[in-house]
Structure 1
Amino acid sequence: MELALAADELRTVVNRLRRAQGQIAGVIRMIEEGRDCEEVVTQLAAASRALDRAGFAVIATGLQRCLTEEEGDGDSSDGGTVDRERMRARLEKLFLSLA
């Protein structure tokens, strides 16, 4: 499956990843400074959520493209069913990897 996102979608995902990158750098700095454990965990959780949101945005875009392409195909042969099942299995695996 190829990562082909529109410019707006790509910008949003990259911004989320940069935010997570900054949060992770902050967590490292907090640990090195011996900051309070609760503060460190709070920031780590925020970074984790930012990564999750970026991953889900990529997958949601992929799903949208798959559905759009499927509607455009109009192919109801068995080969189309096999391809859809394979794609469904791959997307399911991606979702589970983020869970």
Structure 2
Amino acid sequence: MKLENLNEEHCSHRKSHHPEHVKKDLITRLNRIEGQIRGIKGMIERDVYCDDVITQIAATQSALNSVAKILLEGHIKGCVVDRLAEGDSEIIDELVITIQKLMRK
């Protein structure tokens, strides 16, 4: 069975286990990113100079990368460690794919 299919089967009942303060931090960051995206859209609508728009896009990408790093750290320290302790070594393959997805940028 391909790992992608295995992940789809597990996704229906798996949940992350972020502490409440981490969850609040992630939501705050994502709200800020949402605002940045709206701001970029407005810049395009107002014909703002391209370099200024690109600068805002780079800042937004950096903010998204920060969210991804927080999530990846929590995933490794929580989900991966737990599943390894349960003897589920397939989590390593899943982790490699996840890291590859993040590195495509």
What TM-score do you get using the length of structure 1 for normalisation? 0.79
Partner of 1:96, secondary structure, is helix
Q: Percent identity?
A: 25
> How many residues get paired?
89
Once the two structures are TM-superposed, the CA of residue 45 in structure 1 deviates from its matched residue by 0.8
| Counterpart among 15, 27, 30 of residue 2 in structure 1 | 15
RMSD: 1.8
Distance 1:29 1:35 in 2: 9
2:105 paired with 1:97: no
Q: In the alignment, residue 55 of structure 2 is paired with which amino acid? A: T
Which segments of 5 or more consecutive residues in structure 2 lack a partner in the other structure?
1-13
Question: 2:53 is matched with which residue?
Answer: 40
Q: In the alignment, residue 102 of structure 2 is paired with which amino acid? A: L
What TM-score do you get using the length of structure 2 for normalisation? 0.75
2:91 paired with 1:87: yes
Once the two structures are TM-superposed, the CA of residue 37 in structure 1 deviates from its matched residue by 0.4
Distance 1:95 1:70 in 2: 17
C-alpha distance after superposition, 1:21-64 (max 9, x if no partner): 11111100000000010100000111111111111211110111
Task: Say which one has the larger Rg.
Answer: 1
After superposing on structure 2, the runs of 4+ consecutive aligned residues of structure 1 that deviate more than 4 Å are none
Q: In the alignment, residue 87 of structure 1 is paired with which amino acid? A: I
Distance 1:54 1:46 in 2: 13
